[in-house]
Amino acid sequence: MNMTPGARLPAALNDLFLFAVMLTMAAILTTAMVFQYHGGEIPCPLCLLQRVAMFGVCFGAILHFRHGYSARHDGISMLSALLLLIISARQTLLDIYPRPGHSYIGSAVFGLHMPVWSVLIAVAILLAFAIKLAALGGEGLSDRPPPALGRPARWLSFYVVAICLINLGSVIVQCGADACHTTEYRWLSGS
Amino acid sequence: MMLAVFAALSLALLAGYCGPRWFAVWSMLVCLALSIGLFLFEIYNPDYGFRMPWLQVQLDTLPQVWPRGAHS
């Protein structure tokens, strides 16, 4: 499958875009894990679901770098970004009303709490995908990624899978097979 | 439930990285469906669910409307 010279630039830009999206998601998820394991902030159920949605955004990029371009991969990423927007908007609306026992969970980063950041991140992802699709389209992108970006993308994909498995272990310790709570790690509390 | 969501997600990412694509996509779709179900559970569950009091308008009293000049 050879690409025409005119299709090489859009394909390279598409690879760069998806790599940047996956790198950003990986950085955000890593920051959340640092807050959890180093700062002692146990994530709430909606926070965990937001992580799931962020991993879902990465999933489309991982498929792209392994199997080549497909509009379905972009669709899964955008679907996950939409889920992230819905969950984070719901949590922001929930926490924005000050009442006893219900405040923002976790610390603020640059003055904004995690669910508010998630709203901004989800809108930015959806906007970026929309602009990418409008500018590059889908024609002529169906090819393997260029070798220069293939290896970093492979390592980044491996890193995303690894932190997902760490999160799976963390959920087992925090929630077991039951509902999750932010007060304690179920398996560490001995109850 | 959260365990099932993350298990399906891990399967999807693992299969996306080094497994068959059809299995990865199906696992991801299962994960998204479970996530939506858990999200709705979190919202509507009477024990673990959350309420947004500023949207509970059912119990509010209706405002009294007086004709012009009749309230004095």
Q: Write the DSSP symbol of residue B53.
A: G
Q: How far apart are the C-alpha atoms of A183 and A189, rounded to whole Å?
A: 10
Q: How confident is the model at residue A92 (pLDDT cuts 50, 70, 90)?
A: confident
Residue in A with minimal Cα distance to B31: A52
**pLDDT averaged over chain A?**
85
* Nearest residue to A143 (alpha-carbon basis) of A6, A5, A8: A8
B52 in A contact zone (CB under 8 Å): yes
Chain A residues with CB under 8 Å of B42 CB are 45-46, 49
B30 in A contact zone (CB under 8 Å): no
ipTM: 0.87
Q: Can you say whether residue A178 is alpha, beta or left, with left for phi > 0 and alpha for psi between -120 and 50 degrees?
A: beta
Q: First-to-last CA distance in chain B?
A: 60
Task: Looking at the complex, report in whole angstroms how far the Cα of residue B23 sits from the nearest Cα belonging to chain A.
Answer: 12
Sign of the dihedral defined by the CA atoms of residues A178, A181, A185, A186, in that order: negative
Contact B9, A83 (CB under 8 A): no
Does B9 contact A158 at a Cβ distance shorter than 8 Å? no
Residue A62 in this model has a pLDDT that exceeds 80: yes
- pLDDT tens, position by position, for chain B (72 residues)? 899 999 999 999 999 999 899 999 999 999 999 999 999 888 877 665 556 555 555 555 656 666 666 554
Structure tokens at A68: 């080549």
Bridge partners (DSSP) listed for residue A41? none
pLDDT in tens, A115-167: 899 999 999 999 999 999 998 887 767 666 555 678 899 999 999 999 999 99
* Mean of pLDDT values over A93-99: 71
